[in-house]
A and B are shown apart, each in its own frame.
Chain A
Amino acid sequence: MTGNAFKGLNVRGLSVDYQTASGKVHALRNVDLDVPAGAVVGIVGESGCGKSSLISSIIGQAPDNAQISGRIDFNHQSLLELPPDRMRDLMGQRISVVFQDPMTSLNPIRSIGRQMIDIQYRTGRGRAEKREYAIEMLKKVGVSDPADRMNQYAFQLSGGMRQRVSIAMALMARPDLLIADEPTTALDTTLEVQIIRLLKELQKEIGCSILLVSHHLGMIAELCDYVVVLYAGEVAEAGTVRDIFHHSLHPYTRRLLECDPGLIEKVTRRLPTIAGEIPNLLQISPGCIFAPRCDCAQQACLARRPPLLQLGPGRRVACHRAAELDAA
């Protein structure tokens, strides 16, 4: 399989329900998502939008009470039907993940070197060779004194170094797809910039696809080719990064961009907000999921769910009024 060119990740009609004591939580509903080979796709989502459900379903780590339906195809291979051992092979080699908090994703009681050597168990390299490769990867992600770091433990590294180490580990197998889940949330601004640049450079060099999940609009704008806006478990809008940031069609995206203080040029004491709360996902209303918070909502929006309109290749929006709002 390694010989084949990567054909991308395609998610179709993905729904995830969780059976809980108070009923069924419909965390994701009918989500479509494409990550083409070599592309960086960003998922914009605030808390409760279902991004964790999406990632855990893709990597086969959904909780036991999750009921998943739909398709997740990786390289035209259905991940949801893959037997566990094949899934494990795929995960270590073709898909890897960088999590939000490097302190919890690194093993606290094993040295960095040991962890980096251990995860190469599939490669068949000799021990010295594995060590050398690990040092090379550390150098590549900009870790200073890589040979010395190999003997250190996660707690001895600063936050930025830790995140570099987890990126190095994720890219060691030269995966086809890197999933980055809020990779800079735990970092300071000046480090965030360094990590964004690092991801950009490595992506170019390795040529992998990246699925970047973040609520940080600045980071999405800077890194991504395509953007999917997720709201309360549904795709509100999808398109190229310019479509979304310069020509958004869904009222939620528009409001979200308006709320970002980084985009407000004139200094103001009254910052815009989106009134209301994320809906309860135990009972899904029959109308548009964003309608209760939407200032453009009409009667039809409350009564009927808008279909996800296909406006062009990869350009989709779920809004009854998208066309007239666009014209306005």
Chain B
Amino acid sequence: MKWLVEIVGLTVRFPLMSRFMARLKGRDFHEIDAVADVSLTIRPGETYALVGESGSGKSTLARAVNGLVEPTPESSIVFNGRDVAAMSPANFKAYRRQMAMVFQDPVGSLSPRMTVGDQLAEPFVAHGLRDRDLKAECGRLLDMVGLPPDFAGRYPHELSGGQARRVGVARALALDPKLVIADEPTAGLDVSIQGEVLNLLNELQERFGLTLLIITHNLHIVRHVADRTAIMYLGRIVEEGPTDRIFSAPRHHYTRALLSAAPEPDPDAVRTRIELKGEVPSLARRPDGCEFHTRCPKAQDVCATERPEETTDGERRYRCFFPVLHEESG
């Protein structure tokens, strides 16, 4: 099988307010596209990074893959050869076992009233696997993420941020998933331990052949951990390609600005920074044409009226009328 995940034309639409409230307030019924017509493919065993600022739709995309939000009927998500969107709920549950999510807030995603052991046993209970030796499974999972077995009796408030994160990873791995979706795996962690979590994910990936979908805004870590990277802006993928190519020769001006924005920990660094004006526009007022034209340093008239189609260039694709030129790509 070539792809583990194959997404075509994925759109996730949220109503700004319900039809009823809109009528009550005498306003038009409005919907926003949090994810707009996204297509992407993830190979088995690779690490794929989704990068974007808040409101770019990266978490919504992951949630749609995971079945936590419903995409529009035209969208297609094929996971492991089967169309997830077309599945009945019962079928979906069985499929759902093959993907797991590590949530953003390490402590907040654990129940404060359950012990670590109980939380690690929950996936088995939820999927009707009570007959397994839950205690042994729990020990196995803790061992896998490098925590001592006595952690099973602890409550989340007794854990440090890094330990809570490990428990989150252990819980995600409980049912031997094929795909692990990690939403901001290093958010809220100190620099000295964020590597721990990434190394752990990487190690588990090698051991079990996992496929990783990492969602983050931290470009510094993406460069080290991801095989391929997609940059999202206002719900759309503006550029995608092999990570090293994205970093060495970005084609989209947004990618380029993002790369130059990350503050470098060197007081003498020469900063050739492309500073973007203003902020990400509201999804409710999606700009016409290329969504990025309102902030793009190289925008021209056509960018404000026409939406650029996707350009494919080898393993890379991007949406821009006037892509960044690089000598080597001549």
Q: Report which A residues bind B (CB closer than 8 A).
A: 46-47, 144, 158-161, 188-194, 196-197, 215-222, 224, 241-242, 245-246, 255-257, 259-264, 267-274, 277-278
- Which residues does chain B contribute within 8 Å of A277, judged by CB atoms? 160, 162
Asked if B330 CB lies within 8 Å of chain A CBs, one says no
In Å, the complex CA distance between A224 and B267 comes to 8
Q: Kindly provide the distance from the CB of A271 to the nearest chain B CB, expressed in whole angstroms.
A: 3
Complex contact B257–A190 (CB within 8 A): yes
Complex contact A191–B263 (CB within 8 A): no
Complex contact B191–A245 (CB within 8 A): no
Residue of A nearest to B161 (CB): A47
- Which residues does chain A contribute within 8 Å of B258, judged by CB atoms? 189-190
Asked if B86 CB lies within 8 Å of chain A CBs, one says no
Of B160, B224, B261, which is within 8 A of A264 by CB?
Answer: B224
On chain B, the number of residues with a Cβ less than 8 Å from chain A's Cβ atoms is: 42
Complex contact B199–A273 (CB within 8 A): yes
A274-B193 contact given A221-B266, A245-B267, CB 8 Å threshold: yes
Asked if B265 CB lies within 8 Å of chain A CBs, one says yes
Asked if B223 CB lies within 8 Å of chain A CBs, one says yes
Complex contact A215–B191 (CB within 8 A): yes
In Å, the complex CA distance between A58 and B225 comes to 41
A269-B244 contact given A160-B279, A222-B263, CB 8 Å threshold: no
Residue of B nearest to A45 (CB): B190
- Which residues does chain B contribute within 8 Å of A273, judged by CB atoms? 192-196, 199
- Which residues does chain B contribute within 8 Å of A158, judged by CB atoms? 279
In Å, the complex CA distance between A274 and B193 comes to 6
In Å, the complex CA distance between A220 and B262 comes to 13
- List 16 interface pairs A-B (beta carbons < 8 Å), by A numbering: A158-B279, A189-B219, A189-B258, A189-B261, A190-B53, A192-B261, A193-B275, A215-B191, A221-B263, A222-B263, A245-B265, A259-B191, A259-B192, A267-B244, A270-B195, A273-B196
In Å, the complex CA distance between A161 and B280 comes to 12
A241-B261 contact given A269-B202, A272-B195, CB 8 Å threshold: no
Asked if B135 CB lies within 8 Å of chain A CBs, one says no
Complex contact B202–A218 (CB within 8 A): no
Residue of B nearest to A227 (CB): B267
In Å, the complex CA distance between A76 and B244 comes to 54
Complex contact A263–B53 (CB within 8 A): no
- Apart from the given pairs A222-B264, A222-B267, A261-B223, 6 other A-B contacts in the complex at a CB distance below 8 Å: A46-B190, A217-B191, A245-B266, A256-B192, A259-B195, A277-B160
In Å, the complex CA distance between A260 and B199 comes to 14
- Which residues does chain A contribute within 8 Å of B219, judged by CB atoms? 189
Q: Kindly provide the distance from the CB of B49 to the nearest chain A CB, expressed in whole angstroms.
A: 13
CB contacts under 8 Å to A, within B240-280, are 244, 257-258, 261-269, 271, 273, 275-276, 278-280
Complex contact A221–B269 (CB within 8 A): yes
In Å, the complex CA distance between A268 and B161 comes to 24
Complex contact B217–A188 (CB within 8 A): yes
Sorted nearest first, the 8 A-B pairs with minimum C-beta distance are A218-B263, A271-B195, A217-B265, A46-B190, A188-B53, A274-B192, A261-B220, A273-B195
Asked if B325 CB lies within 8 Å of chain A CBs, one says no
Asked if B54 CB lies within 8 Å of chain A CBs, one says yes
Residue of B nearest to A49 (CB): B190
Q: Kindly provide the distance from the CB of A272 to the nearest chain B CB, expressed in whole angstroms.
A: 6
- Which residues does chain A contribute within 8 Å of B54, judged by CB atoms? 159, 188
- Which residues does chain B contribute within 8 Å of A264, judged by CB atoms? 224
Complex contact A262–B220 (CB within 8 A): yes
A269-B225 contact given A221-B269, A274-B192, CB 8 Å threshold: yes
B16-32 interface bits toward A, Cβ cutoff 8 Å, 1 = contact, 0 = none: 00000000000000000
Complex contact B224–A161 (CB within 8 A): no
B181-217 interface bits toward A, Cβ cutoff 8 Å, 1 = contact, 0 = none: 0000000001111111011001000000000000001
In Å, the complex CA distance between A257 and B220 comes to 13
Asked if B129 CB lies within 8 Å of chain A CBs, one says no
- Which residues does chain B contribute within 8 Å of A263, judged by CB atoms? 264-266
Asked if B221 CB lies within 8 Å of chain A CBs, one says yes
CB contacts under 8 Å to A, within B64-84, are none
Q: Kindly provide the distance from the CB of A264 to the nearest chain B CB, expressed in whole angstroms.
A: 7
Complex contact B199–A271 (CB within 8 A): yes
Complex contact B257–A257 (CB within 8 A): no
In Å, the complex CA distance between A88 and B162 comes to 39
Of B162, B224, B261, B275, which is within 8 A of A271 by CB?
Answer: B224
- Which residues does chain A contribute within 8 Å of B192, judged by CB atoms? 46, 255-256, 259, 273-274
Residue of A nearest to B277 (CB): A194
In Å, the complex CA distance between A233 and B65 comes to 44
Q: Kindly provide the distance from the CB of A16 to the nearest chain B CB, expressed in whole angstroms.
A: 21
Complex contact A270–B264 (CB within 8 A): no
Residue of A nearest to B282 (CB): A158
In Å, the complex CA distance between A121 and B193 comes to 46
In Å, the complex CA distance between A107 and B169 comes to 38
Complex contact A190–B276 (CB within 8 A): yes
Complex contact B262–A189 (CB within 8 A): yes
- Which residues does chain A contribute within 8 Å of B261, judged by CB atoms? 189-190, 192-193
A268-B263 contact given A215-B191, A273-B192, CB 8 Å threshold: no
In Å, the complex CA distance between A264 and B265 comes to 10
In Å, the complex CA distance between A191 and B162 comes to 27
